[in-house]
Amino acid sequence: MALPTRSLRRLTRVLDFYLKSIRLENSSLLCAIKLHEHRLPRVRWSSFLLCKPNRLYGTQNVRSFFTSAALSQEFIDVEGPVFAESITEGDIRWLKQKGDFVKADELVAEIETDKTTVEVPAPRSGVLAELLVNDGDRVTAKQLLYRLKLTSEPSSSEEPIESDAHEPVKQEAAEDVPKSEAQPAKEKAKPSEEPSTKVAVPSTLKPQSQIIPLSTEGPKGQAAGITGGRTEYRVKINRMRARIAQRLKDAQNTYAMLTTFNEVDMSAIFQMRKKHNEAFQKKHGVKLGLMSPFVKAAAYALQDQPIVNAVIDEGEIVYRQFIDISVAVASPKGLVVPVLRNVETMSFADVEKSIAHFAELAKGNKLAIEDMEGGTFTISNGGVFGSLFGTPIINPPQSAILGMHAIVDKPAAVDGKVEIRPMMYICLTYDHRLIDGREAVTFLRTIKSVIENPVVMLLGL
């Protein structure tokens, strides 16, 4: 039965009002009019009568068409985050799969950039209806990543049923096996033969491999040969590691790098920690480590030798009157260098708290790009890994880097006597285009003097 023209006009007005008010493209009314055009006989037109007002929008709501429940579901397309100015793209790694239910702010994916990993949370609760990019694809800022079907809780059809998924497989496998194979037929056995007590296992259910004892010998009593592991596998290099490799190679190709060395007696620092560590931790809530003395010593030496804190830029020497020290921290994806800002104004407690905070973020790959941008000088502590001696590479666009190494008890000459002291090798790699050897050696000797006598640094002498 065709819908009267008067009713059709009314439906058209309701459709126009509905789309403008609620802004839904997949309206059930649109589906109804399409069905009317084809004059389908089994359409329940009374389903489109107006019902109670919509409290949220203050407009009239329309009941959904009974045959188009899927079209009434609300979908949204989710874009990727906005990157920092220095980053244009990254590689995506999906943490959820199609059909998974996610809550609002739950992580759906991670985008690995050159400097850090950017999280992609779900804006609202729903089910992942479609992944618009593949795992490992390169994506840009604000690119469409996935389609989310909005729902407050997962329905029974959308919940994963891993425990029940294997049952039908076993039943089908058993049903596919003929009864003659699944059960031994007694009537086929010869009268002279006794019925076998072993039950035949269907070929579809037999294990695919056999367990061979280690004591198995080869043919004719020969010992079984031991095969060596000569396999290899390839792993795609992550963007952070590729960026690190590129920056290190650029540093070697650009800078005239030279390294100078010295040796530091750590006895005074050890005595200071032993005497004041408990009170320091009680007051500030953080332990007094070894990094804070070296960070403050580096700031002290940079103020004494400002050329080490400078940089060459387009034929000019730029002197920075602030000291931002990058501290190298290991992360699961490579070495990262969060920056301590204005170290010359920081206390020992401020330095220790900042380093502990950055180290915690680095372990979880949660360092923000802003945390690693900038920096006028870098400190790398290879001693935490047991390094005794090494030459670090400058972190572009800086002009120098301080290297710390392992502390080793060794004989040292003290007031004409030989004593066992905790000693550490330190080194400074610098850009010889800008920094002369005299300035580099003076810088390193200044660090040595304030580490061996911290009172000089604390009193500002």
Answer yes or no: 436 catalytic.
Answer: yes
Q: Give the residue carrying structure tokens 């900042």.
A: 354
Q: Give the residue carrying structure tokens 């409290």.
A: 55
Alpha carbons 387 and 424: distance in angstroms, whole number: 10
Q: Which two tokens stand for residue 218?
A: 């080869």
Answer yes or no: 284 catalytic.
Answer: no
Residue 410 to residues 249, 293, 390, 423, 426, Cα–Cα distance (Å): 36, 22, 18, 7, 15
Contact indicator for 121, 91 with CB cutoff of 8 Å: no
Residue 114 to residues 84, 201, 242, 398, 403, Cα–Cα distance (Å): 11, 55, 8, 18, 24
Which of 36, 284, 304, 432 is flagged as catalytic?
432
Which of 176, 250, 409, 436 is flagged as catalytic?
436
Q: Report, as residue numbers or ranges, the catalytic residues.
A: 432, 436
